[in-house]
Structure 1
Amino acid sequence: MPDRTEVRLAEYGSASLEAGQLTPRDVERLRALQLRGRLTLDQVPAGWRLKADATVGVLVLDRLRLVIEPKFAIPGEQLMSWLAYALGAPAPLPATARRWHTGPGGYADLVAAALLGQCEQLVREGLRRDYVPRQSVEPVLRGRLDVAAQVSRRYGQLDRLHVRTFDREADIWDNRVLGTALRVARTLATHPGLARDLYAIADAFPQAPTPDAALRALNRTRYTRLNARYHAAHTWARLLLRGGGVADLLTDQGTTADGLLLAMPALWEAVVRRLATEAAAPQDGHAVPSSGATGITVRGDLGSTSTFRPDVLLSLPGRDSAVRTWLPVDAKYKRYDRYGVGAGDIHQLLTYSAGYTPSTHPRAVIVHPRLGRHTHRVLQISGPRGTLGNIHVLGIDTEAAPQQAAMWIRGALPWTDW
């Protein structure tokens, strides 16, 4: 791999680039990411101005290696725990933390190490094999004779036989996608020991023709008792192959550029969905769809119909056991530990509370990340005719384990009073 100049900037930060530092292909890649809201690229007299949005990770260009670091809320290696929690994958920490650290490579090295750890385990256990159809020419009959090929190519000669066989081999899609992801991870790894281990383990896996082919195979994969042990490895492989997105959860369409970029607001929404669902479960609560019959719809305006959809809508038991109530929960990747809740978010949450909760007790919940400790404050919005609603603002300590955060949410909200 050619030497590349490393450019580091923080989430929401910006950097100036000289005109010659970006090739036409780089500009095309960055423009595609700009269309997806990941960053902004502006041409200035001295060259280019690159500004990151709420995106972190690594992007490998022709002449540059961009490293976008988390600016706040989820530091370094702890980001991996929250990422694994959002994906429902086994957390690679603390095992990988003993071998690799975020260092200059950011969390990309840790994602690559998570894939490496899962692949090493699969190799120790033995790679899955399945029957693969093959066509070959043999001196003796194996499998089934291909009569058409024998007649048209050998003209009745029987010294060599065209046969069709089914042999148990490791060259199957379950293994090919991992071989492809391991080779992608090698381009992102900065730690020399990690790159060396990725190079060594990749030889044990077959490779798909292209990363796109591997992604299509992952989308078709269904897990049974035969390949269930591959699920965790495939989760990290998909993250690397999509450049940061998992099943359209963390990015819109992935990215064709070589890199690993993670949209932090989407990650936080995924985290909050799982946190809220787990916190409500012991209270006989569960998440319900916030669309269709349970959606808040705006009609009659110019243009198409619009909707209001909270990130999580919880169904909870009410005072009367026969009647259930709803609680809207919204994820906000904002510094609400330092600043007051914005007017736009207050209006949004009041709409949720009016649409989903009883008029006698209108309420909604905001969940935002913070460092140091959990916090809980209640915004009371009232007017001349009385209370408009209460908004519970929960600050989740991202230095704590995700499971501990779910337990804290469970204890912070008065579920039984609703």
Structure 2
Amino acid sequence: MEKNHRVGDLSEVEAAGLGSTGLVQTQPIGNGEWLLTPTDFVGAAEVGDILLDIQPKDKVGVSQLLFLLGYARNPGFRPENVAGKSTSDLWSALAESFARQCEQALARGVLHGYVSVDDALRTVRGRIRMADQISRRPGMLLPLEVTYDDHTADIAENRILRAALRRLLGLKRVSPSARQRLAHLDRTLDGVVLLRAGVPLPRWQESRLNQRYVPALRLAEIILENSAAETKDGQIRVASFKVNMAKVFEDFVEVALAEAVAELGLAGSIAGQLPAGLDALDAGSRHRISMKIDAVYQSADVPSVVFDAKYKVASHTGNYANADHYQMLAYCTALNAPTAWLVFAGAGKHRSVSIVNTDFTVHEFPLDLSKHPDEVLKGVRRLAELAVTPSS
């Protein structure tokens, strides 16, 4: 959607529903028309019968968007884990990708695990909780308050998968073929408790036993943590998938850069979201001007290179905002690090800027997200080589 998009035949309830997604701001302009202005988020929404898509800039397709989201959570997330090359419809890509991942996860049957259960039984099973027995049933022999381990399909992994399946099945935009596959998968998980809306996702840990589930679980978490579905004022259903591309890009660069530096086998490593202070400590040993730096390369706790990810485009002259360089100068000053790298999302050339009256150098490094994810990762590896290897 372009900025200041005019829409007619929109009711106040529908306009309120669109605004509640966080993807656009709505403003009435008379004659039944509304002005829709995109926010800093991208994504998709269904508001009643209205479909809304906010696309990323620079030809970043659906598959690239889902790859960036997945990789920022887990460096093992691969481009083939998502389907989106043939569609610009985010909901369709999510549904197709998740159906495929779930089918692979459940191909060898539903995963079972042991869950600790507290129950009141007429026979002994597991161990008796004596304190509960005395407090709840004083003087009574039966039933017994017991705790036992039950081997069941109702485990965290299956609850997360089923919650994501139900979220996608509630959408109108899902194709009939994808809906049929999702519904079949949901029936396969019959008996698994449905998570209530707003409840935090149950915790799970990757292991040898659930390895086949991991790609599906990663995508399920992306779906559940970035989407919402509710009925507004009892009148209209709103479903949305919303991501902050600036945060997505920042997280991706931090994770991919740390992995690339580790592969170089150097003594140093990347510290993410490193706190720093620009001013001297006050009497309370605190900084009044505090900062948090996206990524810092340091060896033996000595910082030497700072990185900052910027999801923004260059001006018509090919230059970036002066404020970005001021920010990097502040980072270098605070950490006494001689080199800084501004990583921009977009096409362009690597350029270097020497800051006058200092020994600091700021490098501008573009990362073209419109390319295949493998090429994007190669770009991050090239960034690591240029920034931290002794010959750089």
Match runs of 1:266-277 below 5 Å: 266-277=247-258
Q: Cα deviations across residues 332-367 of structure 1 (Å, max 9, x unaligned)?
A: 111138531212111111111222235xxx321100
Q: Cα deviations across residues 150-195 of structure 1 (Å, max 9, x unaligned)?
A: xx9xx99x9xx99977642212332122111111122345333222
Larger mean Cα displacement after TM superposition, 178-187 or 281-290: 281-290
TM-score (norm 1): 0.72
Q: Cα deviations across residues 361-392 of structure 1 (Å, max 9, x unaligned)?
A: x3211001224xx631112232xxx3463210
Match runs of 1:115-264 below 5 Å: 115-131=98-114, 133=117, 143=125, 167-188=150-171, 189-205=173-189, 206-213=192-199, 216-218=200-202, 220-243=203-226, 258-264=239-245
- State the 1:56 CA deviation: 1.8
Matched residues, number: 360
Structure 2 equivalent of residue 70 of structure 1: 56
Structure 2 equivalent of residue 250 of structure 1: none
Aligned pair in 2 of structure 1 residues 326, 123: CA closer, same or farther (>3 Å)? same
Give secondary structure in 1 for the equivalent of 2:107.
Answer: helix
In the aligned structure 2, how far is the partner of 1:237 from the partner of 1:95? 12
Structure 2 equivalent of residue 353 of structure 1: 332
* Sequence identity (%): 20
> Is the 8 Å Cα contact of residues 298 and 307 (structure 1) preserved in structure 2?
no
Aligned pair in 2 of structure 1 residues 329, 50: CA closer, same or farther (>3 Å)? same
Structure 2 equivalent of residue 412 of structure 1: 386
Structure 2 equivalent of residue 27 of structure 1: 16
- State the 1:47 CA deviation: 4.0
In the aligned structure 2, how far is the partner of 1:330 from the partner of 1:96? 27
Structure 1 equivalent of residue 314 of structure 2: 336
Gaps of 5+ in 1: 1-8, 246-255, 318-322
> Is the 8 Å Cα contact of residues 277 and 288 (structure 2) preserved in structure 1?
no
The equivalent position to 1:109 in structure 2, one of 64, 68, 92, is 92
The equivalent position to 1:15 in structure 2, one of 5, 16, 32, is 5
Gaps of 5+ in 2: 229-236
- State the 1:66 CA deviation: 1.0
In the aligned structure 2, how far is the partner of 1:315 from the partner of 1:417? 16
Give secondary structure in 1 for the equivalent of 2:170.
Answer: helix
Structure 1 equivalent of residue 351 of structure 2: 377
> Is the 8 Å Cα contact of residues 342 and 362 (structure 2) preserved in structure 1?
yes
- State the 1:41 CA deviation: 2.8
The equivalent position to 2:295 in structure 1, one of 304, 307, 312, is 312
- State the 1:90 CA deviation: 4.5
In the aligned structure 2, how far is the partner of 1:135 from the partner of 1:341? 63
Match runs of 1:55-66 below 5 Å: 55-66=41-52
Aligned pair in 2 of structure 1 residues 290, 134: CA closer, same or farther (>3 Å)? closer
Pair 1:48-2:29 in alignment: no
Q: CA RMSD in A?
A: 3.8
Larger mean Cα displacement after TM superposition, 304-313 or 347-356: 304-313
Give secondary structure in 1 for the equivalent of 2:111.
Answer: coil
Structure 1 equivalent of residue 233 of structure 2: none
Aligned pair in 2 of structure 1 residues 144, 284: CA closer, same or farther (>3 Å)? closer
In the aligned structure 2, how far is the partner of 1:145 from the partner of 1:340? 70
